[in-house]
């Protein structure tokens, strides 16, 4: 039997921990011999001075343990952290406990912002890891020794597993079941719970496409609006610089300072964001979308989508289009 400790921060989305526990319990139920030992023994821990974990929704979860009362030398099979907590004090408590407990566990796992706490312990140094898409840049800046991956729902690097935002923890948990007991059991659990064992369209989390905006330079702000209206034309740095009466070199410096990214990257991201919006909200053909967004043709559009999002424009539209279009 594998012991599984789930550390749940106060104020979190409780369906993460509850769903993960349900997946593991379903693996327990699918035993050929009902008298056999359960595959997983699941425990919930809180950092709070009481056993009640208050959820973001207003619902509560009753924990089995208070984390400070657990001996970190206990040889857990799996320790999972489902978030980073509502305040630094709570996060520090988890980090301090994990530093002592990790050497005695077979593997350590995080969901969503929990990866930030794993990074703080040093467990992710020189390892590939991921987290919620909102935190990817923050993790890379704060923990440069971590090899942050943008996109995957989950990553395994040795005994450490990390996953993206919220429901990606379910995908990771199914992967853990598969690693522990094989494909057949993981498939059966997924089918019983009406889940994908492996999501279609690639194992990727999709960030909202929010382009950076200049905050202080009116000329750059006006240029960003002009770019959005002229994606179909060629937009080299020389053309953009001329629009704001700057030399290409000075323009690149100012633009990067104001937006956080170089002009060429901004144009590429603006084109991809526009194409995603059209796929979601219109019935336009791929050829028309490619032309209007500056990709030239549908072949280039497909190439960019497969490289950046790991699925085709058609697959993206199928997954994210407005329901009223169906």
Whether residue 113 contacts residue 83, with contact meaning beta carbons closer than 8 Å, is answered with yes
Beta bridge partners of 2: 40
Over residues 63-95, the pLDDT tens digits come to 999 999 999 999 999 999 998 888 888 999 999
Cα Rg for the chain, rounded, in angstroms? Answer: 23
The neighbour count for residue 326, using CB atoms within 10 Å, is: 5
State residue 324's pLDDT score.
Answer: 60
Over residues 215-234, the pLDDT tens digits come to 678 899 999 999 999 999 99
What confidence tier does 167 reach under pLDDT thresholds 50, 70, 90? Answer: confident
Same domain, 33 and 127: yes
Same domain, 136 and 18: yes
- Among the candidates 192, 209, 228, a domain finishes at 192
pLDDT reading at 162 higher than 90: yes
Same domain, 163 and 246: no
Same domain, 10 and 149: yes
Same domain, 103 and 238: no
Please give the residue range of the domain that contains residue 294: 218-325
pLDDT reading at 138 higher than 90: yes
Same domain, 39 and 185: yes
pLDDT reading at 202 higher than 50: no
Same domain, 188 and 223: no
Same domain, 143 and 261: no
- Asked whether residue 198 is domain-assigned, the answer is no
CA 229 to each of CA 117, 205, 224: distance values in angstroms, whole numbers, following the listed order: 42, 28, 9
State residue 32's pLDDT score.
Answer: 74
Question: What's the CATH code of the domain at 245?
Answer: 1.10.10.60
Question: What's the CATH code of the domain at 85?
Answer: 3.40.50.880
Beta strands in the chain (DSSP E): 2-7, 40-46, 52-54, 60-62, 65-66, 78-81, 107-110, 128-129, 147-148, 154-157, 160-163
Taking the C-alpha atoms of residue 70 and residue 66, their distance in angstroms, rounded to an integer, is 7
Whether residue 295 contacts residue 301, with contact meaning beta carbons closer than 8 Å, is answered with yes
Domain count, the chain: 2
Whether residue 293 contacts residue 231, with contact meaning beta carbons closer than 8 Å, is answered with yes
Q: What is the mean pLDDT of residues 183-209?
A: 73
Same domain, 41 and 181: yes
- Asked whether residue 203 is domain-assigned, the answer is no
pLDDT reading at 205 higher than 70: no
The DSSP line for 57-101 is TS-EEE-SEEGGGS-TTS--SEEEE----SSHHHHHHHHHHHHHH
Over residues 257-304, the pLDDT tens digits come to 998 889 999 999 999 999 998 998 899 999 999 999 999 999 999 999
């Amino acid at each position: 039997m594998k012991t599984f400790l789930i550390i749940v921060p106060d104020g979190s989305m409780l369906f993460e921990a509850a769903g993960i526990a349900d997946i593991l319990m379903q693996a327990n139920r699918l035993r050929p011999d009902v008298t056999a030992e359960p595959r997983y023994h699941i425990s919930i821990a809180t950092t709070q001075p009481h056993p009640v974990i208050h959820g973001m929704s207003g619902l509560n979860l009753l924990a089995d343990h208070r984390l400070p009362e657990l001996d970190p030398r206990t040889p857990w099979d799996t320790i999972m952290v489902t978030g980073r907590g509502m305040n630094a004090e709570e996060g520090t408590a988890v980090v301090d406990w994990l530093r002592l407990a990790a050497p005695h566990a077979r593997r350590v796992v995080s969901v969503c912002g929990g990866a930030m706490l794993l990074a703080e312990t040093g467990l992710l140094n020189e390892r590939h890891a991921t987290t919620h898409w909102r935190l990817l840049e923050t993790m890379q800046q704060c923990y440069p020794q971590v090899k942050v991956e943008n996109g995957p729902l989950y990553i395994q690097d040795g005994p450490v597993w990390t996953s993206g935002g919220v429901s990606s923890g379910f995908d990771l948990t199914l992967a853990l079941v598969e690693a522990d007991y094989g494909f057949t059991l993981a498939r059966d659990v997924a089918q019983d719970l009406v889940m994908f064992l492996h999501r279609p369209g690639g194992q990727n989390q999709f960030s909202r496409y929010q382009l950076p905006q200049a905050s202080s330079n009116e000329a750059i702000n006006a240029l960003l609006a002009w770019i959005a209206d002229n994606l179909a034309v060629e937009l080299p740095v020389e053309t953009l610089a001329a629009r704001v009466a700057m030399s290409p070199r000075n323009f690149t410096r100012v633009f990067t300072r104001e937006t956080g990214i170089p002009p060429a990257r901004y144009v590429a991201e603006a084109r991809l964001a526009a194409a995603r919006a059209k796929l979601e909200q219109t019935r336009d053909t791929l050829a028309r979308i490619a032309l209007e967004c500056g990709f030239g043709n549908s072949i280039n559009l497909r190439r960019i989508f497969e490289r950046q999002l790991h699925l085709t424009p058609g697959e993206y539209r199928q997954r994210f289009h407005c329901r009223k279009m169906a």
